[in-house]
Chains A and B, each alone.
Chain A
Amino acid sequence: MTAPVTASGASSAGTAASRSARVDRSIARILRAGTLVSIGLLAVGVALLAIAGGSPLERTLPGLDPARIPADILALRPEGFLWLGLLATLATPLLRVAAAVVGFLGAGERRMAGLGVAVLIVIALAVVVAQRPAA
């Protein structure tokens, strides 16, 4: 009677560990890809900045305007690549959290998925609050 229970328990623990390892691996892939994309975009922006010449400390840019980024990139303006690189940099850890939420939901770990959702809510709050003018 004991043996089947132990085997089942071991098998269940093994499955949980394997699921956990799978989540870790997929998140690691997202982080690596996100980092490469971010650094790639920033590097292209830096190269274009070098070609354009001048000191980056002396140039002024308008604030972030996502609607302008595609046009800037098509025109090979450095700021388009730099802004997109910055957005990709900031988005990479958030994609990691979103992937963890999906992974934990798939594994039936609702409390852990809930924590991930809580993190994303804090980030959403940051976006909303930051757009209000500073006192």
Chain B
Amino acid sequence: MTVLLLLAGGGFGAGVFGSLLGLGGGILIVPLLTFGFGLDFRAAVGVSLVCVIVTSSAAAGVYLERHLANLRLGMLLEVFTASGALIGGLIAFLLPDRVLAGLFALLLVYTAVTMLRRRATSTGDASPSIENPDDAAGAAPAPGSFRAALAGPGYRPVRLGAGIGGSVFAGLVSALLGVGGGIVKVPLMHLVMRVPLKVATATSNLMIGVTASASAIVYLLRDGINPLVAGPTAVGVFAGAMVGSRVAQRIDVRLLRLLFVAVLALTAVQMTLRAIG
């Protein structure tokens, strides 16, 4: 009973912090389950994938209703994120735990640095200039063409090839490390494809469900997901994300972000130690 409550409570905390800091829960859930509950790395990734699908599905519905997510762009890219996730799911069962822990440590460091830079630049929704999107894309796409169908109000995604390549990588990262992959997809869409930040965030969130499902199916069919652990954790994460999204407007997250960066750094050290044995 105590362990059950701790799993749900840990999931709740991950959901609240993930929601407040704009992160998927995966980056928190995997360390929580490996260090807090002694799960092996792959088992923690399996549970984490379930949790990110739950939070993605809940948030994506809201983003779609508010017309923030670009469904067409998301569907193009998720063909490739899902392919990457399928490959990643298969590779995950070939790699030793230590290698996965080492990769996760790198992800933690990257996330911590990204959060620090975000704090330093504090750009808000600084969309790349789209006054003349043809600068990067060449000639404007013909009306009715495939590229034109991907456009949204005031923007048109460019560099589709880079977006597709990056999406395969995002899918691999998601499947290997049990995260949503937003940390790859959002900068890819925003900085490379010149999609406004809010649209990139919403579209990334929409894609997470399908991406994580592709790899979660591999984990599930290879007995890589323990429902007795996934159930309480996912319920806790869902409840936490609901609470976090409601209190986010009332909380100054600057200090929280610094604290979180410190936690990420410490966790990265622990993951590195686990990786080197």
Give the B-binding residues of A (Cβ under 8 A).
20-21, 23-25, 27-29, 31-32, 34-35, 38-39, 42-43, 45-46, 49-50, 53-57, 59, 61, 63-64, 78-79, 82-83, 85-86, 89-90, 92-94, 96-97, 100, 109, 111-112, 115-116, 118-119, 122-123, 125-127, 129-131, 134-135
> Chain B, interface size: which category?
35 or more
Given the known inter-chain contacts A25-B64, A115-B75, please indicate yes or no for A50 contacting B227, CB distance below 8 A.
no
Whether A129 and B54, one on each chain, are in contact in the complex, defined by CB atoms closer than 8 angstroms, is no
Closest chain A residue to B33, Cβ basis: A57
Whether B64 and A27, one on each chain, are in contact in the complex, defined by CB atoms closer than 8 angstroms, is yes
Whether B3 and A130, one on each chain, are in contact in the complex, defined by CB atoms closer than 8 angstroms, is no
| Chain A residues closer than 8 Å to B89, beta-carbon distance | 126, 130
When the two chains form the complex, which single residue of A49, A64, A92 contacts B231, counting CB atoms closer than 8 Å? Answer: A49
Whether A24 and B64, one on each chain, are in contact in the complex, defined by CB atoms closer than 8 angstroms, is yes
When the two chains form the complex, which single residue of B8, B50, B90 contacts A46, counting CB atoms closer than 8 Å? Answer: B8
Report how far A53 CA is from B149 CA in the complex, Å: 54
Report how far A92 CA is from B55 CA in the complex, Å: 12
Whether A90 and B216, one on each chain, are in contact in the complex, defined by CB atoms closer than 8 angstroms, is yes
Closest chain A residue to B229, Cβ basis: A56
| Chain B residues closer than 8 Å to A59, beta-carbon distance | 228
Whether A21 and B220, one on each chain, are in contact in the complex, defined by CB atoms closer than 8 angstroms, is no
Given the known inter-chain contacts A39-B235, A82-B230, please indicate yes or no for A24 contacting B65, CB distance below 8 A.
yes
Report how far A119 CA is from B94 CA in the complex, Å: 24
Whether B231 and A82, one on each chain, are in contact in the complex, defined by CB atoms closer than 8 angstroms, is yes
When the two chains form the complex, which single residue of B54, B221, B231 contacts A35, counting CB atoms closer than 8 Å? Answer: B54
Whether A49 and B4, one on each chain, are in contact in the complex, defined by CB atoms closer than 8 angstroms, is yes
Query: 5 closest Cβ contacts across the A-B interface?
Result: A93-B209, A56-B228, A31-B61, A82-B227, A130-B221
Nearest chain B CB to A75 CB, angstrom units: 16
Classify the secondary structure of B's interface with A.
helix
Whether A35 and B57, one on each chain, are in contact in the complex, defined by CB atoms closer than 8 angstroms, is yes
Report how far A56 CA is from B58 CA in the complex, Å: 26
> A56-B231, A94-B213 are known contacts; what are 11 more A-B pairs with Cβ within 8 Å?
A25-B64, A28-B65, A31-B58, A56-B3, A59-B228, A96-B57, A96-B60, A111-B146, A112-B75, A122-B82, A135-B94
Whether B53 and A89, one on each chain, are in contact in the complex, defined by CB atoms closer than 8 angstroms, is yes
Whether B58 and A42, one on each chain, are in contact in the complex, defined by CB atoms closer than 8 angstroms, is no
Whether A79 and B228, one on each chain, are in contact in the complex, defined by CB atoms closer than 8 angstroms, is yes
When the two chains form the complex, which single residue of A42, A53, A64 contacts B221, counting CB atoms closer than 8 Å? Answer: A64
Report how far A26 CA is from B58 CA in the complex, Å: 14
Give the A-binding residues of B (Cβ under 8 A).
1-4, 7-8, 37-39, 50, 53-54, 56-58, 60-62, 64-65, 67, 69, 71-72, 75-76, 78-79, 82-83, 86, 89-90, 93-94, 146, 149, 209-210, 212-218, 220-223, 225-232, 234-235, 238
Whether A123 and B82, one on each chain, are in contact in the complex, defined by CB atoms closer than 8 angstroms, is yes
Report how far A39 CA is from B93 CA in the complex, Å: 28
Nearest chain A CB to B6 CB, angstrom units: 10
Report how far A20 CA is from B75 CA in the complex, Å: 14
Whether B238 and A39, one on each chain, are in contact in the complex, defined by CB atoms closer than 8 angstroms, is yes
Nearest chain A CB to B99 CB, angstrom units: 15
Q: What would be 9 A-B contacts, judged by CB atoms less than 8 Å apart?
A: A86-B220, A90-B53, A93-B53, A94-B210, A119-B78, A123-B217, A126-B82, A126-B217, A130-B220
Whether B94 and A28, one on each chain, are in contact in the complex, defined by CB atoms closer than 8 angstroms, is no
| Chain B residues closer than 8 Å to A50, beta-carbon distance | 1, 4
Q: Which of A24, A31, A54, A97 gathers the greatest number of chain B CB atoms within 10 Å?
A: A31
Whether A100 and B75, one on each chain, are in contact in the complex, defined by CB atoms closer than 8 angstroms, is yes
Q: Which of A35, A53, A83 gathers the greatest number of chain B CB atoms within 10 Å?
A: A35
Nearest chain A CB to B200 CB, angstrom units: 17
